[in-house]
Amino acid sequence: MKRILAPINAETKRRRIAEFERRCREAGIPMTDQRRIVVEAVLDMHCHPTADQVYASSQVRRARISRATVYRSLESLVMLGVITKACHPGDVVRYDARLEPHHHLVCLECGEVVDIADPSITMTRLPDMSVFGFEVRDCRMQLRGVCRRCRRKEKKR
Amino acid sequence: MKRILAPINAETKRRRIAEFERRCREAGIPMTDQRRIVVEAVLDMHCHPTADQVYASSQVRRARISRATVYRSLESLVMLGVITKACHPGDVVRYDARLEPHHHLVCLECGEVVDIADPSITMTRLPDMSVFGFEVRDCRMQLRGVCRRCRRKEKKR
DNA sequence: GATTAGTTGAGACAAAATCTCAACCGTAAT
DNA sequence: ATTACGGTTGAGATTTTGTCTCAACTAATC
């Protein structure tokens, strides 16, 4: 059963930040204010922010964190597996705070990206690229097309 | 049955160029030498070239085609549906001359992208994002992991 | 509190992509 | 074949996106 994923709630956010701190300790990476603020910002911004959008977020602006640090923090978050990177044609790199297996509906008109779950296509159903000596660590599906709003606009024309 | 896709052969290349010319005429887009050379270059370069690699290709260099024109031509090829754009995290935009439904095995170590066919996941099996008012036009799967060569290197360490 | 190794900020730098505009060229009508 | 027109091209400036450098700073550990 396919479904659109709900936004990340406060409880989940707390858990994710704690998880981040744990992974930092495990990896021997110092936990700085800057990194903490960047994680919070990403989790607060529902829906795939770009690095620049994170940089422009109120939290990050208020703390006067530099652009370089935002890029570096985001990269370390990816390294630690706290967030993932997503990239769709014609768009810049975006960060995705969602970790559970999910896929992206990308609108070719307006660029909007919607998270969907489709348990029928997950890691468990994609075991065997080992035929090619390839070890699959992640599977993402891009469904590209036109969203409801843009279809309505097209019809009017 | 999953399989790695074979390179585009000469016969297919001819057909694809003819197809491109037909679509240009239909869309009322003038057929220039530059565009013709760019299509040929892309079809000759097996495996997902970047705009810059196309710009650097022998055909394009020989014809002294400008960088701007290469970018513009590639974009018009995408518009006409002659090639597609692909983008994987941590990498620049790449162009994909393959039109048949297929997916990408992306190596997280070396960045190599391999085309694979998996008929069990195609348009025909993905009908129903219409629940969300979304009209699916294309479906791409990214399988990210580590390729055989990089796994061997990792083991040695 | 001292030590150490990793982090930060500011701005320079690099890479990727787009824009500008005058000159040019394909196309189709004549 | 000629002409008129609109789209295309090239060169280089510009913008956008991301990385690098290095001195000053700070988290973590003892």
DSSP 8-class letter at A81: T
The encoded tokens of residue B141 equal 């799967």
A128 touching B (Cβ < 8 Å) = yes
Most confident of A121-130, B7-16, B42-51, B54-63: B54-63
Confidence band (pLDDT; 50, 70, 90) for A127?
A: very low
Higher pLDDT, A47 or B22: B22
Give exposure, B94-108, as e/b (b: 16+ Cβ within 10 Å).
bbbbbeebbbbbbbb
According to the model, what pLDDT value does residue A123 have?
A: 46
Q: What number is the average pLDDT over the span A105-133?
A: 68
According to the model, what pLDDT value does residue B34 have?
A: 95
Domains of chain B are 3-86 (1.10.10.10), 98-156 (3.30.1490.190)
pLDDT in tens, B121-157: 554 455 455 557 788 777 788 888 888 888 887 776 5
- The verdict on a CB contact (< 8 Å) between B143 and A135 is no
Q: What number is the average pLDDT over the span B91-105?
A: 85
The answer to whether B27 CB is within 7 Å of strand C is: no
According to the model, what pLDDT value does residue B109 have?
A: 74
The answer to whether B33 CB is within 7 Å of strand C is: yes
Confidence band (pLDDT; 50, 70, 90) for B35?
A: very high
Average pLDDT of every residue of chain A: 84
Nucleotide nearest to B37 (CA to C1'): D9
How many alpha carbons fall within 13 Å on the CB side of residue B45?
23
Q: What number is the average pLDDT over the span A114-122?
A: 70
Count of H-run helices and E-run strands, chain B: 6, 6
A141 touching B (Cβ < 8 Å) = yes
According to DSSP, the β-strands at B103-107 and B113-117 are antiparallel
pLDDT in tens, B58-71: 999 999 999 999 99
